[in-house]
Copies of this chain bind each other. A is one copy, B any other.
Amino acid sequence: MDPHGAHPSSKPLLETLTARLRNMAHRLTTPRRDILDALRRGAHPMSHRQIHSALRGSCDLATVYRSVHLLESAGLVQRFDLGDGVRRYELLGEDGHGHHHHLVCRRCDRVVELLECFAPELEQRVASQSGYSGVTHRLEFFGTCPACQSA
């Protein structure tokens, strides 16, 4: 595994993403297309602020918040919570394909993308034992990266 590696999976075409958005009966606006494109280029989860800077001010920060909300409810992006109070987002494949987790350095915030998801069978067990339905999970790892260990 490459410690700095980004998503190895082929990135979806921007055209594919905008099509998905329109299929959900939403308008395709310039900010939304640009946000999707920024996320497509990003190797790791991006905060609203990071997305906004990647857009170089082409739209307002409030619009980034509103658009990301929409993309999330449309199932195009997934939210990640890496422990600081900041929400981060990544593109999500159709039907939830592309679900995965991260390993974050406590010192320098370096992120490793973890390709496998371990927990689906756990979801099953948790669901059947509790009676809850539609069980999902959120899992992130934390540690000290090689660089920060020697420093």
Contact B103 A3 (CB under 8 A): no
Interface string of A113-127 (1 = CB under 8 A from B): 010001100110011
Chain B residues with Cβ below 8 Å from A131 are 3, 145-146
Q: Does A105 contact B (CB under 8 A)?
A: yes
With A85-B85, A126-B103 known as contacts, the answer to whether A136 contacts B142 (CB < 8 A) is yes
Q: Does A67 contact B (CB under 8 A)?
A: no
Chain B residues with Cβ below 8 Å from A119 are 118, 139
Contact A133 B114 (CB under 8 A): no
Q: Does A134 contact B (CB under 8 A)?
A: yes
Contact B137 A138 (CB under 8 A): no
Contact B136 A132 (CB under 8 A): no
With A83-B138, A138-B139, A141-B123 known as contacts, the answer to whether A133 contacts B149 (CB < 8 A) is yes
State the Cβ distance, A120 to closest chain B Cβ, in Å.
Answer: 12
Q: Does A12 contact B (CB under 8 A)?
A: no
Closest residue of B by beta carbon distance from A128: B1
A interface residues (Cβ-Cβ under 8 A, vs B)? 1, 3, 81, 83, 85, 103, 105-106, 112, 114, 118-119, 122-123, 126-127, 129-146, 149
